[in-house]
Structure 1
């Protein structure tokens, strides 16, 4: 099985960053929404060891999902 290729975010536009708690809090986490140069949306989720994202999660999402995420985090 081939390994899933992660999108290159070096030149992506950061649309919004949402942080819960403070840096260093084991329950704290952040979510960052990016738009890549080819207009794809990527959500990066990472946090402390007791957070919902103890391991960094990077996923490509649809525009409609990005719009819903933005509404939830307005």
Structure 2
């Protein structure tokens, strides 16, 4: 069975981290969301020389979301 992609349009954005500028090949952004059913989702995307060349959407545990926030 395929994983269900969370609906980020109805999710609440908790924190957005942007490195670089728009169009920067090394730039990227990470966005932490909380869905309506209290699940946490981390969206990572960036330029072709960034750590996140492909958009990545990952459901994470609350403890991992808290650790990500604390690392900023």
TM interval, shorter chain, is over 0.9
In structure 1, the gaps of 5 or more residues are: none
- Give the TM-score normalised by structure 1: 0.93
In structure 2, distance between residues paired with 1:3 and 1:27: 31
In structure 2, the gaps of 5 or more residues are: none
| 1:6-27 residue CA offsets vs partner (Å, 9 max, x unmatched) | 1111110000000011110000
Instruction: Quote the residue 1:20 is aligned against.
Output: 19
| 1:10-62 residue CA offsets vs partner (Å, 9 max, x unmatched) | 11000000001111000000000000000000000000001000000000000
Structure 1 vs Structure 2 CA RMSD: 0.7
- Give the TM-score normalised by structure 2: 0.96
| Runs of 4+ with deviation above 4 angstroms | none
Give the secondary-structure state (helix, strand or coil) at the position aligned to 2:59: strand
